Amino acid sequence: MAARLFLEGLARPLLVVHAIGAAALVAASTHHLLWCRSYLSGRFVRVHAERRFALIVSLLFVGNFVLGASLYPTYKVRVRAEYLDSQAAATDEARLRQAARLGPPDSKKDAIVGQSLMPVARTFDIKEHFMALAVAVSLALLWLSRRAHPQDEPRIAPLYVGLSALICLSTWSGAIIGLYVTMVRPIG
Amino acid sequence: MSPWCAPLDDQKAVAGRNFVLGCAGLIGFALGYALPSFARLSKIFYDPLARTWMWSNGPPGALPIGYGLIAYGIAGAVVAVGLASIMVRLMKPTDRAFALGAAWTLTAPIVVMAYYAWNNWP
Residue A28: inside a domain, yes or no? yes
For the stretch B22-52, pLDDT in tens is 999 999 999 999 999 999 999 999 999 988 8
Interface probe for B, chosen from A7, A33, A135, A159 (most Cβ of B below 10 Å), is A159
Residue A48 has pLDDT above 70, yes or no: yes
**Nearest alpha carbon to residue A133 among B44, B34, B120:** B34
Tell me the shortest Cα–Cα distance from A81 to chain B, in angstroms. Answer: 7
Residue A158 domain boundaries: 11-184
Question: Per the domain annotation, does A2 fall within a domain?
Answer: no
Residues of chain A with Cβ-Cβ distance to B65 below 8 Å are 72-73, 76
List the CATH number of the domain containing A63.
1.20.120
Neighbours of B9 (CB within 10 A): 8
pTM, two decimal places: 0.91
Q: What is the model's pLDDT at position A1?
A: 44
ipTM for the predicted complex comes to 0.90
Whether B30 contacts B36, CB under 8 Å: no
Give the separation between CA A117 and CA B62, rounded to whole angstroms.
Answer: 16
How many residue pairs bridge chain A and chain B with CB atoms within 8 Å of each other? 121
Cα atoms found within 13 Å of the Cα of residue A145, Cβ hemisphere only: 26
| CB atoms inside a 10 Å sphere around CB A77 | 19
Residues of A in Cβ contact (< 8 Å) with B102: 156, 158-159, 162
Kindly tell me if the per-residue pLDDT of B4 is higher than 50: no
Instruction: Identify whether the C-beta of residue B21 lies closer than 8 Å to the C-beta of residue B85.
Output: yes
The tally of CA atoms less than 13 A away on the side-chain side of residue A172 is: 11
For chain A, what is the domain count?
Answer: 1
Q: Nearest residue of A to residue B3 by CA position?
A: A147
Chain A interface mutation, best of B4, B10, B17, B26, highest count of A Cβ atoms under 10 Å: B26
For the residues of A6-37, what is the DSSP string, one character each? Answer: TTGGGHHHHHHHHHHHHHHHHHHHHHHHHHHG
* Residue A6 in domain: no
pLDDT in tens, A88-134: 887 888 788 778 888 777 776 666 666 788 899 999 999 999 999 99
Q: Does residue B77 contact residue A136 with C-beta atoms inside 8 Å?
A: yes
Do A5 and B48 count as a contact with CB atoms less than 8 A apart?
yes
Cα A169 from chain centroid (whole Å): 11
Measured CA to CA, the distance from residue A18 to residue A42 in angstroms comes to: 37
Query: Is A3 within the bounds of a domain?
Result: no
- What is the nearest CA distance from A104 to chain B, expressed in angstroms? 32
Tell me, yes or no, whether A4 lies in a domain. Answer: no
